[in-house]
Amino acid sequence: MQETLGGVAVAGFFAISGYLVLRSALAGGFFQFMWRRALRIFPGYWVALLVGVLAVGPVVWLLEGGSIGAYFLPGDKSVYHYLAANFDLSIGAHSVWDIFKETTPYGVSIGVGGLNGSIWTLTYEWSSYLIVGLLLGLGLLRFTRATVVIVAGIFGFINALYFFDQQLAISAFGAIIDQPFAGFGFVFFVGASLAAYADTIRLNTWVGVACGIVVLVSLVGVGWKVVGFAALPYFLLWVAAALPARFQWIGRKNDYSYGIYLYGFLVQQTTAYFGLHHLGIVPWTVICVVLAFGVAWLSWNLVERPALSLKSRGPGRVVAR
């Protein structure tokens, strides 16, 4: 396999996000679109950062024999540095005082601490939002939806160049589009392209099955991040539409996916610190899923949903008036 299950899930997240975000952009103006995207990303993210450094971090620090006073001292690995380096999604720090560096399998394997190692992809998600917002603000989405396909083609070209000649890609585009962004941007805007032409593109069973085969073959063979990324968005949309009606209520009223993403890694690190991974992969996975879902439920109900309740009260409505 060329990719882990987690890597496939992240690619699928970008594909679905591209489809939904473009639909949102077509339904409103620039200011309201950006306001809603900011409400979806930042409140839950900021709270997750605080949970890591104010709840999990101090507990582990005290168990390691440190003091609360020392934990909150300034420094290049301090709580303050971690928050300042990460608050804008740039992810400039991965841990506080190297917590979990020598006490979890992940920390030992990479040689650094890591409070929340999964949030690094959010900067690429937000950058994709900004590109959609730029197209919307310039009026290009209303003028012609083909601009979305053009952007997908640009990302596809750069992504393929990274695949076939990484050094040339780095020298030509590395300063503005690194390799992860080339791949994530490509799959995001393929999904967005499907949304741009949702009124004309039909979900066909044969095409859906063919895309699924391409995804599987590319995963076990070669070309996952090129042809696999191109086929994945259509395949996921076809699967979603083909699911029985009893499954299609999932996520309609309550969206726990972002919370699970924000806290899943933190839950894994914390449970591994307490040795629960020694129970075996299946029991530990079940424990992590249950705990992550529980924290995601709290995040949705206490942070994300209240923040999203402001989506119709933001600057977009003021500007329109």
- Burial bucket for residue 77 (CB in 10 Å: 0-12, 13-18, 19+): middle
319 located within any domain:
no
**What's the confidence (pLDDT) of residue 4?**
84
> Residues 187, 233: contact at Cβ < 8 Å?
yes
How far is 120 from 191, CA to CA, in rounded Å?
21
Helices (H) and strands (E) in the chain, counts: 17, 0
233 located within any domain:
yes
**What's the confidence (pLDDT) of residue 67?**
87
How far is 292 from 277, CA to CA, in rounded Å?
15
320 located within any domain:
no
215 located within any domain:
yes
- How big is the chain, counted in residues? 321
**What's the confidence (pLDDT) of residue 300?**
95
105 located within any domain:
yes
Low-confidence ranges of the chain (pLDDT < 50): none
321 located within any domain:
no
User: 208-247 burial string, b = 16+ CB within 10 Å, else e?
Assistant: beebbebbeebbeeebbbbbbbbbbbbbbbbeeeeeeeee
248-302 per-position pLDDT tens digit:
665 567 788 899 999 999 999 999 999 999 999 999 999 999 999 999 999 999 9
How far is 271 from 169, CA to CA, in rounded Å?
40
115 located within any domain:
yes
**What's the confidence (pLDDT) of residue 248?**
63
Domain that holds residue 304: 5-314
Structural domains counted in the chain: 1
**What's the confidence (pLDDT) of residue 259?**
93
Sign of CA dihedral 150, 153, 159, 165: negative
22 located within any domain:
yes
- Burial bucket for residue 9 (CB in 10 Å: 0-12, 13-18, 19+): exposed
